[in-house]
Amino acid sequence: MSIQVQSRRGSAASHASFTGAPGEITSTTDTKRLVLHDGSTVGGIPVARLDEVDSDTLRAIGNANFSFTATDRLVVPNAAFTAVRTGTLPAAADVAAGRTIVFFDSLPAINGANTLTVARSGSDTINGATSYACNIPRGRWAFTSDGVSAWAVEVERQPRDAMLTALAALAAANNKVLGFTGDDAPALYDWTAWGRARLNDADAAASRAALAVAALADLDGFIDGLEISTDGGNAITVSAGVCVADGMVMRMASAMTKSINASWAAGTGVGCLDAGAEAADAAYYISIIGNPTTGAVDFIASASASSPDLPDGFTARFDLPPVLNDSSSNLRPIVNFGDEVRYSGAPVLSYTNTSFGAGARTLVALAVPALRCEAILNCHFYAGPSTAGAVWVTSPDDTDANPSVTSGRATAFLPGNASLQFSGVRVSTANGQVGVRFADGMSGGQVYIATVGFTYPRGRHR
């Protein structure tokens, strides 16, 4: 026959004042735990229940109804629910007070109407109700026992974030786009039909066509600012500005000053000559240069108008007007307005003849670059005492002919023993020269020609 062994037992409250014999084991009738005694410890030494032992054990459940166990700590699904599923909690009295069972829909298994209903055991309550619905895909719910007859539910979330809170407060609507007015300050703006159409453009060319904007290649030759000045010494200054050439937008945010008598180096306050040494009575052609790879923009001076020796990587080039120096290798002071260059000191006296007579035209060298340009001149003419006639200042490209007012080949008509002064005469040059001729029969005249400046089409000399 079997032998039934019963140990002494009582409530947890009665155990609190009881001292058992050494090695004696008693049990509590209300909290359902064993208590070990050593003959001296009042209340004995309570033994932990299995559901009180910390464990991060994960248990997986499938696409079916299931029961949570008192030892569960984390329960996750391993298959999507195809119908509403039910998970039944153990009796709250079987789980120590404060202990939690977590259901984490990590898959997620919950989808649409296929949710999880958490059911109670017996007459327990779950958040004061008989059941609880878990209906958020990827949600995480913590069920905490009171150790008696109730479960409390907490939906676990990440800590509150100001940005997410602000985003959640926005009323999203059709044809709205998200923007920000400051830190953690999102706002909604109208997304117009025009804006939506630009996002649907097939490529950049389509967008440019819709906007009536030229392609970069179509802007080649554009320039704003980037005007030159010299100080009569060796320094060349190019003002701030922007130009487009060779597929690159070259922008100088501030003025740059470089020296003509030193080899080129990047940046301001250094040399700008591309090769060799500075020569006297020479023209130096200034170019804005750009490195498409690094975006660097600078300028360079060269004795060559068409083939400057560009630094490595600088493949974009936009030509500015040239500068000229004198016999002492000092740069002639200039100011530059667009394509026009003016000598800011005295005009450069380029030709003097106090005994000028008739005959073939005389070619006069001017203080202008050797390339074709338009010279700006001050001219003084005097006719001898007994002669009168026309005088003609002409381009060397024009056919040489006897000046005549009636034929239109005349700059002025000089009465006998009279002089005329003309300022700002503009004449096209060739090889830096213009031609001067008196009408046949004139003698004893005087000619003075001074170079005031010249015009030079920027970006177009190649």
Quick one: pLDDT at residue 214?
64
Whether 346-455 and 52-155 are alike in CATH topology: the answer is yes
Rounded to whole angstroms, how far apart are CA atoms 300 and 311? 9
Please give the helix or strand (H or E) that residue 459 lies within, else none.
none
Model-wide pTM > 0.85: no
Report whether pLDDT(54) > 70.
no
Residue 360: strand, helix, or coil: coil
Check: CB of residue 110 under 8 Å from CB of residue 136: yes
Closest CA to 414 of 393, 398, 394, 434: 393
* CA–CA distance, 258 with 286 (Å, rounded to integer): 11
Q: What is the pLDDT of residue 385?
A: 75
Q: Report pLDDT for 426.
A: 92
Instruction: Please tell me the class of the 346-455 domain.
Output: mainly beta
Q: How confident is the model at residue 298 (pLDDT cuts 50, 70, 90)?
A: very high
Round the average pLDDT of the chain to a whole number and report it: 89
Structure token digits, residue 154: 């907490």
* Residue located via tokens 């923009």: 297
Q: Which residue has the higher pLDDT, 304 or 220?
A: 304
Of 359 and 428, the structure prediction assigns the larger pLDDT to 428
For the chain, the structural domain boundaries read 9-47, 52-155, 223-338, 346-455
Report whether 154 contacts 179 (CB < 8 A): no
The 3 state secondary structure assigned to 111-180 is ECCECEEEECCCCCEECCECEEEECCCCCEEEEEECCCCEEEEEECCCCCCHHHHHHHHCCCCCCEEEEE
Asked if pLDDT for residue 453 goes beyond 80, the answer is yes
Please give the pLDDT value at position 166: 84
Which CATH code for domain 52-155? 2.60.120
Calculate mean pLDDT across residues 422-436.
90
Please give the pLDDT value at position 271. Answer: 95
Percent of the chain with pLDDT over 70: 95
- Residue 257 banded pLDDT, cuts 50, 70, 90: very high
Fold of 9-47: Seminal Fluid Protein  PDC-109 (Domain B) (2.10.10)
HSE at residue 424, side-chain half, CA atoms within 13 A, is: 1
- 322-326 mean pLDDT: 93
CA end-to-end span of the chain, whole Å?
121
Q: What are 275's strand-pairing partners?
A: none
Higher pLDDT, 149 or 53: 149
pLDDT at 437 over 80: yes
